[in-house]
Structure 1
């Protein structure tokens, strides 16, 4: 996903803001509490090439005298240290050949040696070097890891399963009673090597209706458990335990009921399709695994639908999101 252009907190320096054009950072940073201008920063003037200084002295053969238009004498070598000084390399500057590992002095910003492999980076570069984009930090918060999100979802499924055991237990027992004679006879014949399907007990007439009722109740319980907590705090019980929460990309504020319900329907409504040869389970599995293949924001399909992202909750702060109207909307891509 491409994050829209705008002024965001610099992931490499949270005390500053920079302009994100949708593909990379532009311009110089400004203080994080300063009011950013409308639109991108003004273009920086191109660097002015500087002519290399003439060496103070040269070493020439005995008796040699320069003539107008003549080149250096045979064996001429510049004195040690001669060459462009740091910061003097202009556009297109290329250093002379040197030994392996030789670091050129005065190379312009972003220079890389000829023949370097893709992704090459000099040793000792600081974090956030332009060769590798920094990890986004929405609203100054770290993205939640895959492990935390998986454990939080597992806790939520356990809670919802317990609720279904209480509310749906009687309907499940009735369904088992209606289908048990049929499956008992099927397994008996299978163990006896009998593959015939004649004279099998009939499944109860209410089995189909009971399946629909069970799935409707299970879906309603899941929605009642997840949607209110996500709307108010961006957290379910599992997310609170794992100290993560969902926030909108636009601003650090509560999701609200509409966004929380839209986010839940992507994963919750396929529960109604479980009886269709497991189609609902397949859709839910794809949604659950989708953050593994989304970069750089690790959004699941239900996050993309309503433009949310899951972040970690700092230990030293209150996990309840606040709506700071004094801050510009959107802190980082």
Structure 2
């Protein structure tokens, strides 16, 4: 039986190997031991273990453990992105720039814009629009109850009877098929004029007194809001408080366009840089969240 094909001791040279093809010796030979074969094997085996072997040492140091000298190893690159603040070569420098300086610069700019939009110049937080609407609804409910109980009986005691008589005449005209509805009686017109003037005065007095004495109306006090001069903390004096209350009360009563002016005044803080309504701008005030 013939020998299996493979490399065997060269019968002609003991230091070589010769290839047997299964039938006969071929001309292919190879030294039994190549130069630096052991070192090459060890270098391949210990790659990434922090050992330096011969000529490949520089490549091996890529996996070198920290503290053994040479170049920063691949193992050290595992720290990349951990945010330990240490700069380990160019990759560490890029990490430090990205996490500390690049992110910090736009954040500072954003905080400055936020401060200018949402606080007074001395840093007190401004009230949000919906927060102010909630306070106004509470004030409106309170003033409505006060008007029914106090203002109407004092200013126009016959208002209910006059308006009931006029509505009865209107309904009777509609039922009869008449194309002409009765005009508002002069007595009712007089009642409505007196009630309008009284309502404006009550609003001005209420706003001025409460803002000057307590820093806000009942609705604002209940919802944690206060009125102050934009540049100066504390309750506004009588002058700015009266200007503020007067503009707020009078704007909606202007004939024909009062409803539009009142609506614009309500919505103005939504786009105003200082979150001021028109009456705030005239009085140089801001509505702020109260700091307890």
Query: Residue 294 of structure 1 aligns to a residue in which SS?
Result: coil
Equivalent-residue separation in structure 2 for 1:233 and 1:246 (angstroms): 9
State whether residues 263 and 303 of structure 1, in contact with CA within 8 Å, keep that contact through their aligned partners in structure 2: yes
Q: Are 1:285 and 2:285 matched, yes or no?
A: no
2:222 is aligned to 241
* Structure 1: tracts of 5 or more residues without a match: 1-79, 87-102, 112-121, 316-333
Q: Are 1:261 and 2:242 matched, yes or no?
A: yes
1:157 is aligned to 140
| Number of corresponding residues | 204
2:272 is aligned to 294
Using the TM superposition, give the Cα deviation of residue 104 of structure 1 relative to its aligned residue in structure 2, in angstroms: 7.0
Q: Are 1:308 and 2:290 matched, yes or no?
A: no
**Compared with structure 1, are the counterparts of its residues 230 and 170 closer, same or farther at alpha carbon in structure 2 (3 Å cutoff)?**
closer
Q: Are 1:129 and 2:112 matched, yes or no?
A: no
The answer to which of 171-180 and 141-150 deviates more is 171-180
| More relative contact order, 1 or 2 (CA 8 Å, 6+ apart) | 1
Using the TM superposition, give the Cα deviation of residue 195 of structure 1 relative to its aligned residue in structure 2, in angstroms: 4.7
* Superposition CA RMSD, Å: 3.5
Choose 1 or 2 for highest CA Rg: 2
The one-character-per-residue Cα deviations of 1:166-209 (angstroms, maximum 9, x if unpaired) are 122365552343344443233344356x2521xx5564332332
The one-character-per-residue Cα deviations of 1:11-36 (angstroms, maximum 9, x if unpaired) are xxxxxxxxxxxxxxxxxxxxxxxxxx
The one-character-per-residue Cα deviations of 1:213-248 (angstroms, maximum 9, x if unpaired) are 111111111122110121233211111111111111
Q: Are 1:168 and 2:156 matched, yes or no?
A: no
Equivalent-residue separation in structure 2 for 1:251 and 1:285 (angstroms): 28
State whether residues 168 and 214 of structure 1, in contact with CA within 8 Å, keep that contact through their aligned partners in structure 2: yes
What is the TM-score of this pair, normalised by structure 2? 0.58
**Compared with structure 1, are the counterparts of its residues 253 and 127 closer, same or farther at alpha carbon in structure 2 (3 Å cutoff)?**
farther
2:15 is aligned to none
Q: Aligned to 1:144, which of 112, 123, 127?
A: 127
1:204 is aligned to 185
Residues 1-333 of structure 1: pairs in structure 2 closer than 5 A: 86=93, 128-130=107-109, 133-135=113-115, 136-138=118-120, 139-165=122-148, 166-169=150-153, 171-172=155-156, 174-190=158-174, 194-197=177-180, 201=182, 203-270=184-251, 272-273=253-254, 276-277=255-256, 279-295=257-273, 297-315=274-292
> Larger % of helix: which?
2
Using the TM superposition, give the Cα deviation of residue 308 of structure 1 relative to its aligned residue in structure 2, in angstroms: 1.3
**Compared with structure 1, are the counterparts of its residues 174 and 104 closer, same or farther at alpha carbon in structure 2 (3 Å cutoff)?**
same
The one-character-per-residue Cα deviations of 1:56-96 (angstroms, maximum 9, x if unpaired) are xxxxxxxxxxxxxxxxxxxxxxxx9876984xxxxxxxxxx
State whether residues 225 and 287 of structure 2, in contact with CA within 8 Å, keep that contact through their aligned partners in structure 1: yes
**Compared with structure 1, are the counterparts of its residues 190 and 312 closer, same or farther at alpha carbon in structure 2 (3 Å cutoff)?**
same
Using the TM superposition, give the Cα deviation of residue 268 of structure 1 relative to its aligned residue in structure 2, in angstroms: 0.9
State whether residues 252 and 260 of structure 2, in contact with CA within 8 Å, keep that contact through their aligned partners in structure 1: no
